[in-house]
Structure formats: structure tokens, C-alpha cells
Amino acid sequence: MNGLKKMKYIGLMIAATVLLGACGQSDSTNNQDSTNENASEFPLTLDNYTVSSEGAEFSAKDITYKSRPTSIVANNQGTAELLLQLGLGEDMVGVAALYGEGDKTVAEEFSNIPVLSKEYVGKELVVGANPDIVIGRGQLFASAEWGTGTVEELNELDIQTYIQATSTSEATFDDLYADIENLGNLFTVQEKAQKFSDDIQKRMDKLIETVPANQETINYAYIFDAEGTNVNIYSGSTDTYLNDSLSYMKLNNAFASATGEISVEALLEANPDVLLLVNYTGGRDPKESLADLKANEALSSLTAIKEDRIYTIDYNQFWSYGYQILSGMEELSTQVYTTN
């Protein structure tokens, strides 16, 4: 299976059904007492999730951790970078799914993490790394060649799990704060977690300030690539974390309520103001896709093409379900709101 199909059908088109608890970013995270470093008591029980064997359906699950984990596998690049921001580099024994631009602020530490697979990683390699815990994107906790194994399968091998709340259905940007708080408690790094949450809050506040006053909502659609007259349009309807995050920039997913494949006809009917062209490792050069989009006569009536409003976004920044989305949004803001 090629990289595009893996991304589109394994990662992005998987539907999740779990309802997340509200995680207010001010009350639940930013008011946390910063003097609680190393204050976690074990056994520690956290609200988390399990997922069906194909990685599609989520269920809420309280998970009790007997002790602080000391060896971690992150099932994707963005999760590993989040853990590095919390100072957990020495605990990392494996990472996988390196599909996009990395965070330069932790690049040196990231280079020291053993790469189990540059693509999605299977259970055999995960177990072979001998971790205490596997952390990351929920859809990848599947019983499949590309999956780490289910929560239950890993637990049977005495390997604990933590699924990012941001990767589940109905997630919002506030769930990033919940993940950081939970991981801070689990790894007894509450002060680092609190500081990182505060930094994220400041970045989001600054980002919101870049949006022009009285800005009307701008509709967008995702394009994974284009070649000739073939266009891979992704609805993003299950990626509520992305949709909510971008709403802070007055950007609205034109297909947020769509189901199934999105046809060219549907794209023409929706006529979004902006197209977001996804760049991912192993995919087609976005410059080539961009050229084919502009040359496609069937798409010539699209507002985004006529007004040259096609912007390239990085896969890791947007689909790691972590803090990296802020970098992507900051870059996107300079393109969308060029007059500011």
C-alpha cells in the first residue's frame, strides 16, 4: 500500500464515536498549581480510551497506572515531540510514523530516539522495543499490520497505553491541554507541563490577534494531492481537533459534515475560498500537485484557484494531533491574512 493510501484510509478516514468530556483550557489546565512537581501518587487513574481492533470505534476507559512509566514508545512523530517538550527524552525507546516536518526546537533530542519505522509501526516492533507504555494517536492502536496492537493486546503483554484525547472524535483544541496535564501527572513533570500549557495559551492568544477584526468566515477544503485530472479530496469530517483549531482563525471546513468520499462535483458545488494542499513524506511533490490543480480545466471555476488561494500545509503539524498545529496555523495565517 502506498503512502497516500496509508494516510488517507488508515489515518484520516477512520471514524471515531467516543464523546469526550469537556476540558476547559483555562479552568482545567491553566489554573493548575505549579508547585505540584513530582506530587503524583501511584497507583494513578486517568480518564482515557480503548479502541476497536480496526482502530475505528473508541470507548472511554479509566486506566490505572501502577507506577511512573520509564520506557516509552510514541506511535507517531508528533507524540514524541510532545513528550520531548515535557523533558522525557531519556525515557523514549522508540518512535514511528515520520511523515512530516519536525519541530526544530527538539530536533537534536528527537535524533536520539530509536526509529522503529519511518512509516506506521506494527506490534512486533513495538513489543521488541520493550516499552512500559505506548502513547499516541488512537487510530493506530489497531490489530493490523500497520497498528501497534490494541490497548487490550498490549495490556496482556504488561504494556500500558495512553491515547491522545486530541485524536478522538469530538475533540477540540482544549483537549490538548488535557493531554498535557494528564501526561504531566503520569510522568510527574507537572511544572514542565504547566509551563508548556501556558506557552501554548500565549501562542494561541497571539495567533488570534493576527485575524483581522470583523473577519468573515473563510471556507476551506483539504487536497491530499493532484496528478493530471485526478484530485484526492479529503473531507476531514472526523478530524474535529483540526476543525476546531482552525476555527480560531475564522477558517471553516466546507466538508465538516460530509460522509464518504468527496467528488470533484461536490468540491465545485462547495466552492471553498481556500484549498489546503497537504505535504507529507513519501507523497507527491506539492509543487507538482499545485501545478496540476491550476492546469485542471474542470477546476478552473473554483474561487480558490481563480484567486490563487492554495496553501501547502505539513502533515506532521496538522495530523499529529498535538501542539505542532500551532506552527502550521501560524504559517498559514501569514498567507491567508497577508494584509496584516
C-alpha cell at 86: 515535557
CA distance 337 to 163: 35
Which backbone phi and psi does 4 adopt, to 5 degrees?
A: -65, -45
CA distance 276 to 179: 27
- Determine which of 6-15, 111-120, 249-258, 291-300 has the lowest per-residue pLDDT on average: 6-15
C-alpha cell at 318: 496538522
> Which domains does the chain possess?
18-207 (3.40.50.1980), 218-336 (3.40.50.1980)
Please compute the mean of the pLDDT values over residues 112-140 and round it to a whole number: 97
pLDDT higher for 30 or 265?
265
Q: Which residues pair with 230 in a beta bridge?
A: 227
**pLDDT band, very low/low/confident/very high, at 24 (cuts 50, 70, 90):** very low
pLDDT higher for 121 or 170?
121
Give how far the C-alpha of residue 168 lies from the chain's centroid of Cα atoms, to the nearest Å. Answer: 10
220: amino acid identity, one letter: Y
What confidence tens digit (pLDDT) does each residue in 320-329 have? Answer: 999 999 999 9
Q: Which residues pair with 233 in a beta bridge?
A: 223
CA distance 192 to 87: 8
What confidence tens digit (pLDDT) does each residue in 73-109 have? Answer: 999 999 999 999 999 999 999 999 999 999 999 999 9
C-alpha cell at 278: 497537504
CA distance 316 to 324: 7
| pLDDT number for residue 279 | 95
User: CB neighbours of 237 closer than 8 A, spacing ≥ 6?
Assistant: 253, 255, 256, 257, 258, 259
| pLDDT number for residue 38 | 54
